[in-house]
Structure formats: C-alpha cells, structure tokens
Amino acid sequence: MILVLDFGGQYAQLIARRVREARVYSELVPFDAPVEEIIAREPEGIVLSGGPNSVYGKEAPRVDGRLFDLGMPTLGICYGMQLMALELGGKVGATQIREYGRSDLRVKEHGMLFMGTPEEQRAWTSHGDAVFAAPEGFAVTAETSSVPIIAFEEQSKGFFGVQFHPEVRHTEYGMEILKNFLFEACGCTPDWTPVNIITDTVEKIREQVGDAKAICGLSGGVDSATAAMLVHRAIGDNLTCVFVDHGLLRHNEAEQVTEAFGKNSEMPLVHVEAQERFLDKLARVTDPEAKRKIIGEEFIRTFEEEASLIEDAKFLVQGTLYSDVIESGTRDAARIKSHHNVGGLPEIMDLDLVEPLRNLFKDEVRVVAAELGMSERMVWRQPFPGPGLAIRVIGDVTAERLEILRKADFVLQDEIRNAGLYRELWQSFAVLPAIHSVGVMGDARTYAYPIVIRAVTSDDAMTADWARLPYELLERISNRIINEVSGVNRVVLDITSKPPGTIEWE
C-alpha cells in the first residue's frame, strides 16, 4: 500500500488513481495524519501531494518532522517537494518566472526516478515557488530553463522530489517516473488486481454484515449493480434489492431495470413505485442542493419502510464511489455538490451503510463488474446521477418538464448510439432550463423551452473535456428534438470543461 498525504492540491486524488493504475493499492489521508497511524498502516511508501499554499505561509500545512525519520521511501510532488526540502535543511523561495502548464525539462542525472526515460522531456507544472537549494546529500536530477532544481533525490534515505506533476497525463513520462518510485524505490509488487479487489471486498462485507440481512438501493446503473453483486456474493439470500422508481428516470428505464434484475437475476427484487411521493416533495423546489437532500432523504425513508418488512434487515447497500465522496466534500477538499448518497443523506438513519465501492473510481468499478460477469452493455452504461432528471431540470421539477426532458434525452441517446460514439463518451445527456425563448415554427410565434446538449470525455470524472461531436450529428439531434418533442423550440450545446464547470449542471 502507498499512502498519499493530501495537502489540498487539485491533483491529490489523481495521484492515488495513478498509483492504482500501476496495480498498487493506494489511499488518500490527511496531511496531518498522526505518525503513529501511518506506522500502523505499514505502507511501502509515502507520497506528499501538491497544494495551493506557500511553505512560508501562515496557514501552510506542515507535517510532523518524525515522518522523515521513518525510513519509508517518500516522494514529494510540487508543494510536497518544497516541504521536504524545507524540513530537511534546503531552501525554498518564489521564482521570478512562474511555471504553469507544459514545461521542457532536462534530466541531469537519471538516478532512480528517471530510469528508462530520455534526457529531454515535457512535464506539467503549476507553481510559483521552487527549491533554490537542495538539502545536504541530495542530487539534483533535472532542471528547466527557469527552475534549476525541478527534481532531486537522496537514494540512500529513500527521499525523492519533483516540482512537476507526474500524475497528470500531459507529463510525457509521468507513469514511468511513478512506477520507478513504486517498484524500484518502494519495492512494491503490482498485485492489486480485480480478483484481489473482489476477494478482499467480499471478506470485509462478511465481517461487517455477519448473519444480518441487507437491502440494496438498485438503480440499474453499473455502480449499484456491482455493489449488489459483491454483497450477494458475500451474504447470498440475505440480500434483497429494492428498486425505487421515483419518476426521475430516463425513457423506459424502469422497465429495463425490472426486466434485467427481476426476471434474469438470482437476487430478489422489490419494485417500489414512488413517483408521486417524490414529485410532491420536490414541488416548487428550485435550489439544487435542496433537491439532492430531499431526494436523499426520501430514498432512505423509502428503503427504511421496505426494510421494516424484512426481518433482521439492518444494512443499506449503496454504490457510492470515491469521486462522490470527494465532490461531496472532505476536510481537505471543498464541497462541490452534495451527492444524494453522501452529502444528501439524513443525519439520523435506521440502517447502517454498506458501501463496497467507496474507495474505487468509476473505471475500477467497471473492471470489477466485468470480472463479476456483468453484461458488457451494463458495464459500459454511461453514469446517471442518483437524483436523476431532477437535477437536469434547472428550476422547479414538474411532471410536464420531466416528460419533455425524457423525450429529448431519448433522441440524444438514440443518435449518439447510431453514430457509434456511445462508448467514446463518458456522459451525454440533455438539460432543460426552466426558461422560455421566442421561436418561429409553422410561420407562427412560439414561446417554449430550450434543450441543452451536454457531452463530455473523461477517464475518471475528476476532470472532463467537452466532446467535439460532429456538426452533422448535432444537426440531426437538433432537428429531431425540435420536430419530435413538443414544447421545445431551441437546442444549444454546452462546451464547458471540468473544471471550471462540473459535468452535471446541478
């Protein structure tokens, strides 16, 4: 295991993700995690993440100095490198020329980190401070035109530092550098595989649940389905899946879920029709955070009602992902939006949570799902938010607006699949802002809703880029939506990446 100490950098979670890509398990922990706790975890190595602060700032996060006496290989990235240098006797200061974006670096000594990489390479940088003097005994291994110490290392003590971000794809040999740290410096073995994930997770579920019974909130997506399969493997018939049809699903989705999991599954499925219940609660609610919390509350209350009908049901299984937890806010990561299954949960619950996917990213879940034997169509189903179409209607959620959005989204999905682009996109969906605009249809004035098309590409949903859909495809989508969906007279395209936007509008 590798522990990544989080100093609040935008790429902290990405470091953990890249380590896992190398088939080494990693976890993100607070920068001030007690040294005793770190020792107890027995990691093979430690990574100090980047961060937005200057090491000389009054509020700058620091570490217990004993961390550097543990004898564990340690890699400092950006702020982490600066902090390492300062703690071990080096000097850090502001650079005359800040580096943001791609930088050309020259390897002076390949040492351990740069083994197998060329002398000239590009790296992704984002810093205003830099190390001016390396600690005693450290070898300077790379430089750029404006930063003479862009990397250093002290192999005998296992200390390594880079002022750039090897975890970012734009760094040409980033993965090679990370692998050199993992396998050469730390002596890790690449054995964190889907089979091992499944075995370890099933064992943990059995320890947590024991002989009690659990219910799973099944939405039909890959996350909840994978969570259900893992729990079913652990506790068998003591699991009951509950599908709550809240009326916020896409076209024919409720029928697809009940057909797939009701008739063709060994897991018992309870279908709860709760459309009116949710719409009543959402009536005249426009604030997105309020919507998420209302939906999260109603989900839990509905599950509790169903659990009361099942003797000894004490646990609720959810398909919560690591990205859900991060976006809903941790101590070192600001809340971006409350996910209905994390920040949207009520404070008092009658059921204990079982979240077997809580430490996994989306693409890791898909690998596990495939290993469990899930169908390819289900494995590669695009993510769909738990609050459903409620957060894609921007404004008051009504039955009429949901139906308009449902039809428009169906047209979009149909054309995306016909164009063979479904697997290439992370997500594609329609958004309905609750506003009207003037149009002309059949020589008459119209005053109707616009539909926003949103399509993005991504690896893990932590960052995303807007998809460059062909103009011909966009034209077909626009024509079909306006011609086939009553109440719409305008179609627009969202070309915002994440950041600064999020994938969903709310």
pLDDT, position 267: 77
- Residue 504 above 90 pLDDT? yes
Q: Of 9-23, 64-78, 252-266, which gets the smallest average pLDDT?
A: 252-266
pTM of the model: 0.68
Q: What rounded mean pLDDT belongs to the chain?
A: 88
Task: Inform me whether the pLDDT recorded for 95 exceeds 80.
Answer: no
Residue in 127, 165, 246, 339 annotated catalytic? 165
pLDDT of residue 434: 95
Query: How much is the pLDDT for 338?
Result: 43
6-44: per-residue pLDDT in tens? 988 777 888 988 999 999 999 888 899 999 999 999 999
Same fold, 2-185 and 398-493: no
* pLDDT tens figures, 293-346: 999 889 888 877 877 888 778 898 988 887 676 655 444 444 434 444 444 455
* Structural domain spans, the chain: 2-185, 194-379, 398-493
Distance CA 400, CA 462 (A): 33
CB atoms closer than 10 angstroms to residue 112: 18
Higher pLDDT, 348 or 428: 428
| Cα-based torsion angle of the residue sequence 307, 309, 313, 317 in order, rounded to the nearest 10 degrees | -30
* Angle CA 126–127–133, to nearest 5: 135
Could you please state the CATH topology (level 3) that the domain comprising 194-379 is classified under: Rossmann fold (3.40.50)
What is the pLDDT at residue 327? 56
Q: Is 283 helix (H, G, I), strand (E, B) or coil?
A: coil
Of the candidate CATH numbers 3.40.50.960, 3.30.70.20, 3.50.4.10, 3.40.50.880, the domain formed by 2-185 belongs to: 3.40.50.880
Lowest mean pLDDT: which of 83-97, 273-287, 343-357? 343-357
> What pLDDT is attached to residue 264?
55
- Which helix (H) or strand (E) segment holds residue 127: the answer is strand 120-133
The C-alpha atoms of residue 328 and residue 330 are separated, in whole angstroms, by: 7
- Residue 97's pLDDT is 59
What is residue 304's DSSP assignment? H
Under CATH, which number does the domain 398-493 receive?
Answer: 3.30.300.10
Active-site entry in 78, 186, 188, 241: 78
For 425-463, b/e burial (b = at least 16 CB within 10 A) is: bbbbbbbbbeeeeeeeeeeeebebbbbbbbbbebebbbb
Going from the C-alpha of 476 to that of each of 23, 210, 420, 426, 473, the distances in angstroms are 43, 54, 14, 21, 5
Residue bearing the bigger pLDDT, 315 or 415? 415
What pLDDT was estimated at residue 332? 46
% of the chain exceeding 90 in pLDDT = 56
Outline where DSSP puts E strands in 50-119.
Answer: 74-77, 91-107
pLDDT band at 348 (very low <50, low <70, confident <90, very high): low
Give the pLDDT of residue 351.
80
Kindly report, residue by residue over 182-214, the tens digit of the pLDDT.
999 999 999 888 888 899 999 999 999 999 999
pLDDT in tens, 354-400: 999 988 888 889 999 999 988 887 888 888 888 999 999 999 999 99
Q: How far is CA 409 from the centre of its chain?
A: 23
Cβ neighbours for 324, distance < 8 A, ≥ 6 positions apart = 339, 341, 342
> Which of 69-78, 331-340, 453-462 has the lowest average pLDDT?
331-340
Examine the residue annotation and report whether 78 is marked as an active-site residue of this protein.
yes
Q: How far is CA 335 from the centre of its chain?
A: 13
What's the Cα-to-Cα distance from 469 to each of 420, 424, 427, 494, 499, rounded to whole Å?
A: 11, 11, 12, 11, 20
Comparing 219 with 176, the larger pLDDT belongs to: 176
| Residue 165 is a catalytic residue | yes
Q: Residue 276 has what pLDDT?
A: 94
Burial bucket for residue 173 (CB in 10 Å: 0-12, 13-18, 19+): buried
Catalytic residue among 21, 87, 99, 167: 167
Q: What is the pLDDT of residues 141-162, one digit of tens each?
A: 999 888 889 999 999 999 999 9
Under the banding of pLDDT at 50, 70 and 90, the label for residue 497 is very high
